[in-house]
Amino acid sequence: MEHSLRIALYQPDIAGNTGTILRTAACLGLAVDIIEPAGFDLSDRNLRRAGMDYLELAALARHVDFATFNAWREAQNRRLILLTTRAAEPYTQFEFRPDDVILFGRESAGVPDALHDRADARLIIPMVAGRSLNLAVSAAMVAGEALRQMG
């Protein structure tokens, strides 16, 4: 089943993570937005290795920068839901909507403060140890919860 729910990646650094997310999104029927610049290009060996032939099935949109992405998102009246370790609200307590865009930060630095403040909601995956989860793991967890809520 195709969903309108989208996963957005802010300037991803690691090709293998994006490949894994594109594969997961293709399997679950989610679209992916990449907010450029990324730390690799789409021909990257590690992206292709992680995404395999699922890359051809992935609904991928690339945006040259955050402003372009955000104008497109606002025109569609979609909420921007940010996943960040700086949030207080657990993602499992949030009510997702089918047309939400769920945004994840870059592996090296998350998202800038200005973008953090512009999100409609900021959510955390609570952890008992460590500073953060792997980007692709956190995207899979949150996509799973959002889809679970939508039945």
Ligand X SMILES: C[S@@+](CC[C@H](N)C(=O)[O-])C[C@H]1O[C@@H](n2cnc3c(N)ncnc32)[C@H](O)[C@@H]1O
Positive or negative torsion for Cα 3, 35, 130, 47: positive
Binding to ligand X, residues 62-91 (CB under 6 A): 83-85
Q: Does 12 bind ligand X (CB under 6 A)?
A: no
Q: Which of 138, 140, 143, 145 binds ligand X (CB under 6 A)?
A: 138
Q: Does 141 bind ligand X (CB under 6 A)?
A: no
The answer to whether 123 is a known ligand-binding residue is no
Distance CA 69, CA 72 (A): 5
Binding to ligand X, residues 108-127 (CB under 6 A): 109-110, 124-125, 127
H helix count then E strand count, the chain: 5, 7
DSSP secondary structure letter of residue 29 = T
∠ Cα 14 23 17 (to 5°): 15
* Least distance between ligand X and beta carbon 123 (Å): 6
The answer to whether 105 is a known ligand-binding residue is yes
Q: Does 105 bind ligand X (CB under 6 A)?
A: yes
On the CB side of 111, CA atoms within 13 Å amount to 26
Residues that bind ligand X (CB under 6 A): 83-85, 104-105, 107, 109-110, 124-125, 127, 132-133, 135, 138
